Amino acid sequence: MTLTRRFVLGTTAALALAPAAALAQDGPIKIGEINHYKRMAAFAEPYKAGIELALGEINGEGGVLGRELEFVFRDDQGDPAEAVKIAEELMTREGTVMLTGTILSHVGLALSSFAAEKGYLYLAAEPLADSLVWKSGNPNTFRLRASTWVQAAMLAEKAAETDAVKYATIAPNYAYGQDAVEAFKENLKRLKPEVEFVAEQWPALFNIDAGAEVQAIERAKPDAIYNVTFGTDLAKFVRDGGDRGLFDGRDVYGLLTGEPEYLDPLGADAPEGWYVTGYPWYGFEEGTPAAEFVNAYMESTGESPKIGSLVGYLTAQSIAAAIEEAGSTETEALIGAFEGLTIEDTPIGELHYRELDNQSNMGAYVGTIAVEDGQGVMVDWEYKEPSPYMPSDEEITEMRPAE
């Protein structure tokens, strides 16, 4: 039995609803996948490879409901308006049964709103902004990745254990960055009320003036720094800050900084000692589901996995499992299947979508950056479940719009 079929729910009940031969005659089940393949290739391409690995396994053993599962990939150039236009075309012209994808949160929020307006189903595979499932949540939108709130809370828990009182933050000035800073501040102040935030820097996404940002933070004389920059912004901030000694003698907490998409390009310049969220694929114990996924991915692609690879794989797993659970490709049936959906034995353990807010229970890996053989890695890492870091059910219910 292949990796995915051990993870995806059984099909017996679903296949009982209609003859497999008849279902197979209907052609492939198409999923609309929208992402920033050119603008954010370092993340989007491994994500796509993860999807394709899962699809190969699923379709190699008969597909879903007796039909092949197919993803129709489209590039939105990181533009919310373009993403919405593509989504409409995918659903009305291409015959896709639901939508998934996007990395940038403002694009994901646009697709979420569009899905609710049109009555479509959207699985936000990668966007991290909390508002996707909370303040702007709707019954048609589900989210796979651990929320900004959860990951920031994990970092705040570590920060609260230190003597640092004065903090500076730096984050891209859009939905994800804003949510990430607010989540860290709120969680850290709850754990350590005496904390002060002495500087907040908000560079434009992918247009950072690293020298100016480093100087502004240094002038504030913080004890510690919370970093939310990623991609090329992170590389510029790390190198400029390192050259100017910004990080010397200071604790630094980095959201996403340990993810291979962003850590690998830094090479030997990786910021040692930062406490980060990431994906230490190289450290998994052989024989575990996490290691089995890594081995299968490397055998399939010839490359090491990224966090996007795992997210893509889990995205295809989730969709296949939901369709099998629904026994149908109708939107209402799929929404009902995603509510409370549980998939056993995925690479991260049991994957579950909460009925309360349509958020999965995917957690995050946290650890410290070190440089080994000229490359940044995470050491002393652990995988943390999200439940202890979530707001209460009552708080989440209050945040979500009335349905």
For the chain, the domains span 3-147+284-352, 149-283+364-399
pLDDT in tens, 310-367: 999 999 999 999 999 999 999 999 999 999 999 998 999 999 999 999 999 999 999 9
Here the tokens at position 100 are 């998934």
Domain 149-283+364-399, what fold? Answer: Rossmann fold (3.40.50)
- Given a contact cutoff of 8 angstroms between Cβ atoms, the answer to whether 217 and 198 are in contact is no
Provide mean pLDDT across the span 243-264. Answer: 97
Query: 32 pLDDT exceeds 60?
Result: yes
pLDDT in tens, 194-240: 999 999 999 999 999 999 999 999 999 999 999 999 999 999 999 99
Question: Percentage of the chain with pLDDT > 70?
Answer: 94
**Residue 4: its pLDDT value, please?**
52
Provide mean pLDDT across the span 101-105. Answer: 94
**Residue 19: its pLDDT value, please?**
34
Question: Percentage of the chain with pLDDT > 90?
Answer: 91
- Given a contact cutoff of 8 angstroms between Cβ atoms, the answer to whether 401 and 281 are in contact is no
Distance separating alpha carbons of residues 66 and 24, to the nearest angstrom? 5
In the structure, what pLDDT confidence band is assigned to residue 25 with cuts at 50, 70 and 90? very low
**Residue 20: its pLDDT value, please?**
36
Reference 259, options 225, 227, 298, 292; nearest CA is: 227
Distance separating alpha carbons of residues 139 and 16, to the nearest angstrom? 28
Query: 260 pLDDT exceeds 60?
Result: yes
pLDDT in tens, 140-175: 999 999 999 999 999 999 999 999 999 999 999 988
**Residue 13: its pLDDT value, please?**
37
φ, ψ for residue 371, nearest 5 deg: -110, 120
User: Considering the chain, what is the average pLDDT of its residues?
Assistant: 93
Here the tokens at position 301 are 């692609």
Provide mean pLDDT across the span 87-97. Answer: 98
Distance separating alpha carbons of residues 162 and 184, to the nearest angstrom? 15
**Residue 3: its pLDDT value, please?**
58
Query: 9 pLDDT exceeds 60?
Result: no
Provide mean pLDDT across the span 31-40. Answer: 95
β-strands 196-201, 364-372 pairing: unpaired
Q: What is the CATH number of domain 3-147+284-352?
A: 3.40.50.2300
Supply angle C-alpha 238, 240, 245, rounded to 5.
90
What is the secondary structure of 86-130 as a DSSP string?
A: HHHHHHHTS--S-EEE-SSHHHHHHHHHHHHHHT--EEE-S---G
Q: Which helix (H) or strand (E) holds 266?
A: none
User: Could you check whether 3-147+284-352 and 149-283+364-399 share the same CATH topology?
Assistant: yes
Q: Is the model's pTM score more than 0.85?
A: yes
**Residue 42: its pLDDT value, please?**
87
Query: 8 pLDDT exceeds 50?
Result: no
